[in-house]
Amino acid sequence: MKTLTLRRPDDWHLHLRDGAILQGVIGDTSRHFARAIIMPNLVPPVVTTTDARAYRDRIIAALPNGDRFEPLMTLYLTEHTDPDDVEEGKKSGLITAVKLYPAGATTNSHGGVRDLDKAMPVLERMAKIGLPLCVHGEVTTPDVDIFDREAVFIETVLDPLRKRLPELKITMEHVTTADGIDYIKSSKGNLAGSITTHHLIINRNAILVGGIRPHYYCLPVAKRENHRLALRAAAISGDARFFLGTDSAPHVDPLKECACGCAGIYTSVNTMSCLAHVFEEENALDKLEAFTSLNGPVWYGLKPNEETITLEKRDEPANFPPKRETGAGPITVFDPMFPLHWQVVEK
């Protein structure tokens, strides 16, 4: 196969940051993706519908001329989130989901939830009105090994929450383990999972073998090879409960290349080329459209995009920029460590 035409994809988990970084990276998403769920972990975070409306306006203002892109806004869940504000945000059409960050789990999550009981009023309201909860599925307990935190979250937080509030629709974002995949597959409804581009490609060796390589460090951290293979099997399965959420997370290089570097991998530039490579390796190019363009809209109650994009496999590999220059500084682009021959045909 040399060409592949898909419905235009969506990204169901995206970080755009703000200010100069937003202006520098937004075009890498809007060039190929029609919609994206925008993460709310700014400083300060997006905690109210008013915050989300202002942030959406800044995103729209930063779009390159001619790009058609819809940011799907989320609210950052706190122990003081107002259920009425959340409901008004959904009714207005502005708010697509609410995001649960366990306090301290990842970048700018220090204001997240420490006691889930205190957030139950808003979760109960969300269940009533049909608003999804997106979760960063890791515990932050210091004595739990970082490679086990997703599995422990499922056992101690997610499963009890689902039993307590079974009608709440939950997206387990950036699943990284076979445990997460198996838990979603065994569920009887109201649970789905997004999978990133980079977790389909790297395991923890990429971060640690041959020296510490900070541009492969993300949270949840990449796991053992058996977990990567489980993610691949889920992504190519066609199972409607799994879809793309890149978790593309730009940080300027000085904040990655330091004694306490930030977690995040910037994949928006080459995600579609990477995914075509992965799905071809698995003899599953016929399942790529479901993963990138069909399953996510169904889960979030939206129609698939009518527009299409075309990828072409070329003899010469693509020459993606190693860095994206922004007004805040350079951001290193994800290097999959193999040549990318599949490229989106730009119109």
**The domain at 3-344 falls in which architecture?**
Alpha-Beta Barrel (3.20)
For the chain, how many residues are written?
Answer: 347
Count Cβ atoms within 10 A of the Cβ of residue 259 and give its class: 0-12 exposed, 13-18 middle, 19 or more buried.
Answer: exposed
Rounded to the nearest angstrom, the gap between the alpha carbon of residue 245 and the centroid of all alpha carbons in its chain is 4
Helices (H), the chain: 19-30, 49-62, 83-91, 120-129, 149-153, 159-164, 178-186, 205-208, 225-235, 253-256, 271-281, 288-289, 295-299
Cβ(10)–Cβ(289) under 8 Å? no
Q: What percent of the chain has pLDDT over 70?
A: 99
Largest CA distance in the chain: 57
Separation of alpha carbons 145 and 133, rounded Å: 25
Position 106 pLDDT exceeds 80: no
Predicted confidence at residue 111, as pLDDT, reads: 76
Q: Does the annotation count 85 as an active-site position? A: no
Predicted confidence at residue 94, as pLDDT, reads: 98
Confidence of residue 103 (pLDDT cuts 50, 70, 90): confident
Predicted confidence at residue 97, as pLDDT, reads: 98
Q: What is the pTM of this model?
A: 0.97
Q: How, if at all, do strands 308-313 and 342-344 pair?
A: antiparallel
Q: Please pick, among 247, 286, 315, 335, the residue that the annotation labels catalytic.
A: 247
Domain ranges, ordered by start, for the chain: 3-344
| Per-residue pLDDT tens digits for 293-345 | 999 999 999 999 999 999 999 999 999 999 999 999 999 999 999 999 999 99
| Per-residue pLDDT tens digits for 49-95 | 999 999 999 999 999 999 999 999 999 999 999 999 999 999 999 99
